[in-house]
Amino acid sequence: MGSKKTQHKNLISIVLGQYVIAKSACVIFRAVRHCKIDLFSLYLHQTDTQHTQIKLRMPTLDYQESRDREFCDTFYHTLNLCGGIMCDYIYQAAIQSPSKRFYIGNEKAITNLLNIKKGKRITSCSIKQKMYIDLYKKACEIQAGDNRISFSEAVRRAIRSPAPQFYISVRTARHIIAMRRKDAFFNQKRKEASNELL
């Protein structure tokens, strides 16, 4: 008899426990529904925060944002001209397109170009070496046109002048486009989540 009572009490405890769990789940569901917050919005917030933290940890050069923005515009313009077919040729064509300026910092460019002027060899990848050679030629032309300015000033002016290409690799180009797409995706989802809360 005692055993049956114990079993009955245990059964009641299990049922009560399940009821409490179900009740809590119901309250949580109602709260979530009332606040118009879904699980995707919570996931988006967490993922968006992680995405922002990653971007903040990555060092950004003073000209990088401008370069990436201009390259994206050039890339999608080239893509439209080619019928929207994504391939390496599109990246190469966009890379070889003229840009508004030479995307490099003043101090680094001056240091390397002064070394070139002294006949020293600079250690850099082939793409950057080509950029330094083109930039050096333009700086020399600018200084020849105005011999009152220093070579450093000529380099600064050359940097701000139009460049024949972007001087980046296909890998860098792909990364720029991928990051811009990711930013656009999170901005869109953030906007949708904000509209849901209104």
Write out pLDDT tens, residues 4-62. Answer: 555 544 544 554 455 444 444 444 445 444 444 444 444 444 444 444 444 434 444 67
81 lies in the same domain as 21: no
152 lies in the same domain as 78: yes
99 lies in the same domain as 180: yes
Q: pLDDT tens digits for 60-97?
A: 467 899 999 999 999 999 999 988 888 889 999 999 99
Give the mean pLDDT of the chain.
77
3-state secondary structure the chain: CHHHHHHHHHHHHHHHHHHHHHHHHHHHHHHHHHCCCCHHHHHHHHHHHHHHHHHHHCCCCCCHHHHHHHHHHHHHHHHHHCCCCCCHHHHHHHHCCCECCCCCCHHHHHHHHHHHHCCCCCCCCHHHHHHHHHHHHHHHHHHHHCCCCCHHHHHHHHHCCCECCCCCCHHHHHHHHHHHHHHHHHHHHHHHHHHHHC
Q: What is the mean pLDDT of residues 97-120?
A: 95
87 lies in the same domain as 179: yes
Domain count, the chain: 2
Asked if residue 109 has pLDDT above 60, the reply is yes
93 lies in the same domain as 158: yes
10 lies in the same domain as 101: no
107 lies in the same domain as 11: no
Task: Give a yes or no: residue 79 inside a domain.
Answer: yes
pLDDT at 122 (0 to 100): 86
Expressed as residue numbers, the domain containing 99 is 64-185
